[in-house]
Chain A
């Protein structure tokens, strides 16, 4: 298998922008009576009404739809998926707000390619800034539609009616009809466009409030079915024979012993070898009984990785700088304060607690796959291509899954399970082992960042040059005001398969930039907070920086060799974050403990402050791993630490005291908040470690062996 560079998926691929093909879907029949409201993106679409569900002539380009049933229950359909980021709750809040119904009257149908409108996937913090406005517009249009229906029924002017609490009310409550009563006996399809004015955040009553997570009860009772919990009648269990290393060639295979086991079938299609068995135990025993010989070619390792990335550019990629201003070289020549440094980040694994899993079932030429993925339609496309099927012949269903963090964009287990199920003629479940998850998924890219920068006598930045090799272009341009700039991303040939990870390269680039800012502040003899503010015109970033510093008590207590304080900030994808960290140095200067973290956050109007706090705290804790100890070790096409015992992730005992300051800008549109909360911690910790020890640790993870290096004598 060739290492693949999986695109970061920040931009919607044009080839995937085809709309859903509603006319061959019969699920509408299942909805019963009521009204189905479809949102189309452009006002050019004709307003249609009165068509029955079976009319089969819905427009192709539908952004979203919702159904209001005769019992007033509202069902909203979206291609976004719930992976722990709590959008099942926050999206429903926004719909309830605009539709003027109780929050719990809403059911979200998500991530089922037969039932929901096409969607590129759930990544890039796009749900809140893009899907929320679509659903809000649809709900507002639906509300107006109900007002019109009531106006017609009562033969009164629509302006005399209001929508509130799931009812249309006439003349201050003289008479009212519930939405269900209004649509009862009907079977209407209404096409609407996004023309309605949305409710301003200042007037929100349901959005903007800490509504608890939907379905929490099902998780604490074990009732929720994750993708790996799905069971189908007659289902077999699969397992895949993995090569001994990446890019390995299969030299010989003897599966006779495996095939003697009861009920076992060995399936081979070229280099793809798998087994199916009546139970999971037998499947894995059969796999172990296969005698396969592989030839694994010599391949790079962590040793010399960053030289390798720099000297192996990805050919054919655009090599133009992202941003150029003035002349960095000239400014550097005469600058009184200058600093040049390399920063690195290692490959790390997402390690979602639920490994990749899929259940595939073929029935009458139609393939249905239940799987954990952030891109149900992307996986559907992969299956269509692999098995030469039309879109109506493939259905991908994504039950709310055991997290992803950017790691579940591809359909690997879906493809594997579908191959096994096709040959076996029965549904097949495939759950990757932890070792497979650590080896055959993809990694957050490793990267080398080279920065040289300069400031004048007053501590004003005059030059900034930032090169990123391989890890990515996210948050590569500096938010600080610098007259001379050169900023460039250099894609490399990655020795490991790599792809998206929460916040993409914003973590790496922000680590390098904010550590470098700390060096410059130190060289200029200026407090790190003051140095940042001196060079920062971006008001939203200034606001969180000041908010975090105030809450932390920045500058009140000096750092000591035992306790260091650090500060960092950053922005990407509409999120503004500033982080202050207090680290404790123990065990004679060897042990690092992050004791306290204060993080201030702003991403426009807050949709759900409780969910937001949960995401931010989780981001900070996840960030501890990449900052201090997470690192994939590899050599010659093999992952050397594919177990939690050897790949340390943050645990309860790593948890610092966490304080979060939310800046709620109700005057600004809401941005996504699932990712960028992760980018402040590592540089804040690096800067705190310097403040305590005088050592600059320019590599992530900073303490791969679990302890600080000895200070240079």
Chain B
């Protein structure tokens, strides 16, 4: 066991874990952050997606030893004071889930997409989200939710120029 100081959702957490244990396992089994899901353990489904320094990352593939200095955001860290983020809000409004097991990974992947591309087109959304599986087949609503989130976000945040 080694000791790590992880920066997760704005908090600094000490955790003891073997160096090759995956971040997903540490989150779920040592820190009780169960929002990231196990779906395949092979980076094929995206259910375990977290943001590491803003980059959507498969937490089932990355060892805990590799994320010591990084800022990690899990689904539990989105939103503040009980407020949903535009992406979360859009998923609710579009009913973009069935069983909901893929949802946290989808929400985080979409969050990262909208940070890079605030107004993505249909093809950009499909391309960005294609690594995340939804076995219930809710894809059309998820695409609609990402589009709605883009609109909600544009309304919430004034354009760059207007802020000055």
**Chain A interface residues (CB < 8 Å from chain B):** 83-86, 212-213, 216-217, 219-226, 228-229, 231, 237, 279-281, 351-355, 400-403, 405, 431, 433-434, 610-611, 614-615, 617-622, 643-645, 649-653, 655, 658
Contact = CB atoms under 8 A, between A and B. Distances in A.
Given A403-B136, A652-B129, A653-B126, 16 more contacts: A83-B99, A217-B88, A219-B100, A220-B103, A222-B35, A228-B38, A279-B25, A354-B37, A400-B99, A402-B99, A405-B135, A615-B98, A644-B133, A651-B130, A652-B130, A655-B143
Contacts of B13: none
Nearest to A354: B101
A352 B135 contact: yes
Contacts of B137: 617-622, 650
B106 to A, nearest CB: 9
Nearest to B90: A220
Contacts of A354: 37, 39, 99, 101
Contacts of A224: 100
Nearest to A618: B137
Given A84-B136, A618-B138, A652-B130, A220 B91 contact: yes
Contacts of B30: 279
A158 B131 CA distance: 61
A86 to B, nearest CB: 7
14 contacts: A216-B97, A220-B103, A224-B100, A226-B101, A279-B29, A280-B25, A403-B98, A403-B136, A434-B39, A621-B137, A621-B138, A652-B132, A652-B143, A655-B143
B70 interface: no
Contacts of A279: 25, 29-30
A509 B93 CA distance: 38
Contacts of A611: 95
Contacts of B139: 621, 650-652, 655
Given A221-B84, A222-B34, A614-B138, A401 B99 contact: yes
A434 B84 contact: no
A296 B88 CA distance: 49
Nearest to A219: B100
Nearest to A643: B42
A643 B141 contact: no
Contacts of B140: 617, 621, 655, 658
B17 A281 contact: yes
Nearest to A230: B34
Interface of B: 17-18, 21, 25, 28-30, 32-42, 44-45, 47, 74-76, 78-79, 84, 88, 91-93, 95, 97-104, 107, 125-127, 129-143
Contact of A281 (B18, B98, B100, B136): B18
Nearest to A654: B139
A403 B99 CA distance: 5
Contacts of A351: 135
Given A622-B137, A650-B137, A353 B41 contact: no
Contacts of B37: 226, 228, 353-354, 402
A281 B29 contact: yes
Nearest to B18: A281
B136 A216 contact: no
Nearest to B142: A652
Contacts of B38: 228, 355, 431
A81 to B, nearest CB: 11
Contacts of A280: 25, 28-29
Contacts of A434: 39-42
Contact of A433 (B33, B41, B93, B125): B41
A383 B140 CA distance: 40
A216 B92 contact: yes
Contact of B98 (A217, A355, A614, A655): A614
The 5 tightest CB contacts between A and B, nearest first, are A222-B35, A84-B99, A621-B137, A402-B101, A219-B100
Contact of B76 (A221, A352, A403, A620): A221
Contacts of A223: 35, 76
B156 to A, nearest CB: 17
Contacts of B42: 434, 643-645
Given A237-B29, A610-B95, A655-B139, A220 B39 contact: no
Of A222, A352, A645, A653, chain B has the most CB atoms within 10 Å of the CB of A222
Contacts of A217: 84, 88, 92
Contacts of A219: 91, 97, 100, 103-104
Contacts of A401: 99, 101
B133 A353 contact: yes
A129 B41 CA distance: 39
A618 to B, nearest CB: 4
A122 to B, nearest CB: 13
A222 B107 CA distance: 10
Contacts of A433: 41
A617 B138 contact: yes
A353 B18 contact: no
Contacts of B102: 353
Of A217, A219, A281, chain B has the most CB atoms within 10 Å of the CB of A219
A520 B18 CA distance: 65
Nearest to A645: B44
A221 B39 contact: no
A221 B75 contact: yes
Nearest to A405: B135
A351 B136 CA distance: 10
Contact of B126 (A85, A402, A405, A655): A655
A289 to B, nearest CB: 14
A231 B97 CA distance: 24
Of B47, B104, B131, chain A has the most CB atoms within 10 Å of the CB of B104
A622 B92 CA distance: 22
Contacts of A658: 140
A565 B116 CA distance: 38
Nearest to B98: A84
A211 B126 CA distance: 28
A237 to B, nearest CB: 7
A436 to B, nearest CB: 11
B141 A403 contact: no
A355 B95 CA distance: 23
Given A353-B101, A403-B99, A643 B40 contact: yes
B93 to A, nearest CB: 8
B155 to A, nearest CB: 19
A281 B17 CA distance: 9
B99 to A, nearest CB: 3
B159 to A, nearest CB: 26
A401 B102 CA distance: 11
Given A221-B84, A281-B29, A402-B101, A216 B40 contact: no
A352 B98 CA distance: 12
Contacts of B17: 281
B20 to A, nearest CB: 8
A403 B29 contact: no
Given A281-B17, A655-B126, A225 B40 contact: no
B100 to A, nearest CB: 3
B141 A614 contact: yes
A234 to B, nearest CB: 14
A281 to B, nearest CB: 5
A353 B39 contact: yes
A103 B76 CA distance: 28
Nearest to B32: A231
A643 B39 CA distance: 11
